[in-house]
Amino acid sequence: MRKPLIAGNWKMNLNHLEAIALVQKLAFALNDKDFDKVEVAVLPPFTDMRSVQTLVDGDKLRIVYGAQDISQHDGGAYTGEVSGAMLAKLGCTFVTVGHSERREYHNEDDELVNAKVRAAYRHSITPILCVGEGLPVRQAGGQVAYSVSQLDAALRKITPEQAKSIVVAYEPVWAIGTGEVATPQDAQEVCGALRGRLAELYDAEVAAAVRILYGGSVKSGNIAGIMAQPDVDGALVGGASIDAGEYVKICRFGE
Ligand code: PEP
């Protein structure tokens, strides 16, 4: 069985003191026995990571954390970059790779996304690989082919053993930060196709193991319908993840 994952992409929000306050609120609100059925992750900016690690380790919190980016390189003269080794040392479980904001504002192409996926695996960090089409592609009905081609490119040279642990996030660009959420059926269409493609690229075992998330304007009011889809195993949440009350409700699938 795939354990649902809710991951909060804080983007470039919250300093380290605000990060501590938010994680404390989340940990307090999500600390009941039942809560083992969902994995809850936060993805803070790099500058918050050490503070989050200290809090999670010190209080043995059930929240896991990860980074929003990783260098394709393992170290050296790459000013401004942060390596997988550094993230692993900080206890990061996840790293987002291929987020549309990085593809768009930092010109990250499929080749670089693949290099970053491989860098994550070199350091035993689980990539949350983001794929998804923009509005013109959706309007032309090309969402499945587009998202599948991004998946293909990102998984080049990734072994079946590695692929089994990847998290894929289907994030239609037109739904990110716009308030315009995909319908549960839209999410299922592409998530189902991505799982089908994993079975073709690898095998049924890999396809059945991989968690596929939906991301794009997820809120407490729309999470339940999204989670009811058979190929959706959780959500990548942006804006709503920095509001403790709202994020807790999302982690409880809107209840
Ligand atoms: C995201 O940043 O991955 C995202 C899905 O953002 P939002 O929830 O704000 O649309």
For the chain, the 3-state helix, strand and coil shares in percent, each to the nearest 5, are 50, 15, 40
Q: How far is the CA of 58 from the centre of ligand 1 (A)?
A: 29
Structure tokens at 104: 């768009």
238 is in an annotated binding site: yes
What residues are labeled active site? 99, 171
- What amino acid is encoded at 38 in this protein? V
Complex ipTM: 0.98
| pTM, to two decimals | 0.97
Return the SS3 of 122: helix
Listed in sequence order, the residues at least 6 apart from 159 whose beta carbon sits closer than 8 Å to its beta carbon are none
Tell me the CATH number at 18: 3.20.20.70
Residue-wise pLDDT for 17-37, tens only, equals 999 999 999 999 998 776 788
Q: How far is 95 from 72, CA to CA, in rounded Å?
A: 12
Compute the average pLDDT of residues 90-119: 98
Question: From ligand 1's centre to the CA of 243, what distance in Å?
Answer: 13
> Is 130's pLDDT higher than 90?
yes
Which is it for strands 234-237 and 211-215: parallel, antiparallel or unpaired? parallel
Q: How far apart are CA 66 and CA 79, in angstroms?
A: 21
Q: How large a percentage of the chain has pLDDT more than 70?
A: 99
Mutate to test the pocket of ligand 1, among 5, 213, 218 (most ligand atoms within 8 A of CB): 218
User: N- to C-terminal Cα distance for the chain?
Assistant: 22
Mutate to test the pocket of ligand 1, among 173, 226, 237 (most ligand atoms within 8 A of CB): 237
Any residues with Cβ below 6 Å from ligand 1, and which? Answer: 9, 11, 171, 176-177, 215-218, 236-240
Model pLDDT for residues 174-222, shown as the tens digit of each residue: 999 998 889 999 999 999 999 999 999 999 999 999 999 999 999 999 9
Question: Is 114 annotated as contributing to ligand binding?
Answer: no
Q: What residues does 171 pair with on adjacent strands?
A: none
* Total of domains in the chain: 1
Measured N-to-C along each axis, helices 110-122 and 143-154 cross at an angle, to the nearest 10 degrees, of 50
Whole-number Cα distances in Å, 237 to 5, 81, 164: 11, 24, 22
Q: How far does residue 249's CA lie from ligand 1's centre (Å)?
A: 16
Instruction: Note the pLDDT tens digit of each residue in 39-67.
Output: 999 999 999 999 999 999 988 888 999 99
Q: Which atom of ligand 1 is nearest to the CA of 175?
A: 10
Angle value at C-alpha 108, between 107 and 114, nearest 5 degrees: 165
pLDDT value at residue 180? 87
Examine the pLDDT at 116 and tell me if it is beyond 90: yes
CA dist., res. 255 & res. 248, Å (int): 9
Domain that holds residue 157: 5-251
Atom of ligand 1 nearest to the CA of 235: 5
Q: Is 174 annotated as contributing to ligand binding?
A: no
Nearest CA to ligand 1 atom 7: 238
Q: Is 239 annotated as a binding residue?
A: yes
CA nearest ligand 1 atom 8, residue: 238
pLDDT band at 160 (very low <50, low <70, confident <90, very high): very high
Half-sphere exposure of 176 (CA within 13 A, CB side): 23
